[in-house]
Structure 1
Amino acid sequence: MSALPTLLEHAESERDQIQLALQRAEENARRAQAQADQLDGYRGEYRQRWSAQFRQLGAAEILHCYRSFGDRIDEALTQQQQQIETARGHVERLRQRLVAAETRVASVRKLMERRALEQLRLQERRDQRQTDETAQQIHWRAAQADAARH
């Protein structure tokens, strides 16, 4: 029974560490998504701004610059989406680990409760046995005293 509190403390510590890691991972995933949203918004603004420019100037050099920079924005968005997917996968794995850690903590607590209840029942049986023996001795002495009087 003495090892169970140590085991519980270890399981709770592990769960708490996983919980902190999950919070950090969720924040990283949120930041990655915000960055992707920002890039996507910038890409939309860029396209809108340059489409207005094309109506005014139709130079091939400008079109080439537009496409080149647009391609780089698209590449950055693709990379950002990959980072988002990686971050989401990490979050999901940490959630699964957290569930497993919480299950371990609950299991150790339940085991400790069962052991404590078992000890309580054992002590109650000892107390009842002691009470029964005391009552039996009192009855026996009373019977001996009654027999001695007669």
Structure 2
Amino acid sequence: MNEKIAITPDTHTEPPARFSHGVRKGNIVQVAGQVGFLPAVEGQPPTPAGPTLREQTLQTLANVTAVLEAGGASWDDVMMIRVYLTDTDHFAEMNDLYNTFFDEAGLKQAPAARTTVYVGLPAGLLIEIDALAVID
């Protein structure tokens, strides 16, 4: 049986509660919901990349990338992405940023399935993204 391994990239601090930024078991990597915090600075609280959806979306995607890579996966391995937005008016802008990100990523495989839902997040946060990857 494969051991379940917690994933914490160098860019992340330890989670504030009993969960992992990502988990790998066998060839499956689950990335926990990531938000647009800048890379961790020891002794300082997490800081959002900025107040705009653009800044937070790009940083959130970078944070998901960091967890995937630390778990031995890439975006080509991702089967499912869930996007959580705080404002329905942000959907079109997020889609444009998302499409540009993946156009520039040079994926070789079919795009992942995606679900987008609207939620409440802590003050100042506009987006959260999680992902499920299956490594060949």
| TM bin (shorter chain) | under 0.3
More strand by share: 2
More helix by share: 1
Q: Which has the higher contact order (CA 8 A, sep 6+)?
A: 1
- TM-score w.r.t. the length of structure 2 is 0.23
Structure exhibiting the larger radius of gyration computed from Cα positions: 1
